[in-house]
Amino acid sequence: MARILIVDDEAKIREVVKEYATFEGYEVEEAADGMEAVEKVRADKDFDCVVMDIMMPKLDGYSACKEIKKIKNIPVIMLSARGEEYDKLFGFEVGIDDYVVKPFSPKELMARIKVVIKRGSRDGAEDILTYKGLVINFAAREVIIDGKRAQMTPKEYDILFFLAKNMNIAMSREKLLEEVWGFDFYGDDRTVDTHIKMLRNSLGPYRDLIVTLRGMGYKFDDIR
């Protein structure tokens, strides 16, 4: 049974999310502020997803997310009454996995939770892929390039791990949007191209392992 930590200073929101999550079969814990959330994760790292508000007393959601990610790379879905693009981009920069604007549909939130938990379980496979000076550690969610740890955005990791897990399999842009961004992404395939460009820059000397399939999409080159 997957375990979820719901973090919000509004008890009513915690109650609603808990009701739906329990109905979906999740085990639920609650926290009323960011500080309590960090302490709960530190005491019990066995959470599969954290659903957390941004504006909270003691420690805001962004800061709590950064502290939680230092303890364990648990998927974090951020809740906010603010839907500006800046807030979303800043959230992704600090490591959140998804962003939901209040007021939200509890059913949609449950669908998003399912997506990030599925993605996290796939990334958590205990295996390591190596090629020359490139090391992709799926379990640690870590990439080493010629002895140095690569600094990537969460989406860059998601794309790389998905392509590497499906080595030498052609992936359309639509498939990448579905698997990496989730079921409800609203946008076009230029988003994929932009993130692939960023990923290649992060891979440096190993950028050519991400192969462009003209008119179709991308694949991770077969290095076995």
Class in CATH terms, 3-122: alpha beta
Give the pLDDT of residue 204. 95
Give the pLDDT of residue 140. 80
Give the pLDDT of residue 179. 83
Give the pLDDT of residue 125. 46
Q: Going residue by residue through the chain (224 aa), what tens digit of pLDDT does each one get?
A: 789 999 999 999 999 999 999 999 999 999 999 999 999 999 987 899 999 999 998 999 999 999 998 888 888 999 988 766 677 778 787 888 888 888 889 998 998 898 888 776 655 444 788 888 999 988 788 899 999 999 998 889 999 999 998 888 899 988 888 888 875 555 566 888 999 999 999 999 999 999 999 888 999 997 75
Asked if residues 162 and 179 have their Cβ atoms less than 8 Å apart, the reply is yes
Task: Give the dihedral of Cα atoms 32, 36, 42, 43; nearest 10 deg.
Answer: -80
Nearest of 133, 150, 196 to residue 141 by alpha carbon: 150
75 φ, ψ (degrees, to nearest 5)? -60, 135
d(CA 16, CA 56): 18
CATH pick for 126-220 out of 2.120.10.90, 1.10.3720.10, 1.25.40.10, 1.10.10.10: 1.10.10.10
Give the pLDDT of residue 120. 64
Sequence spans of domains, the chain: 3-122, 126-220
Give the pLDDT of residue 185. 54
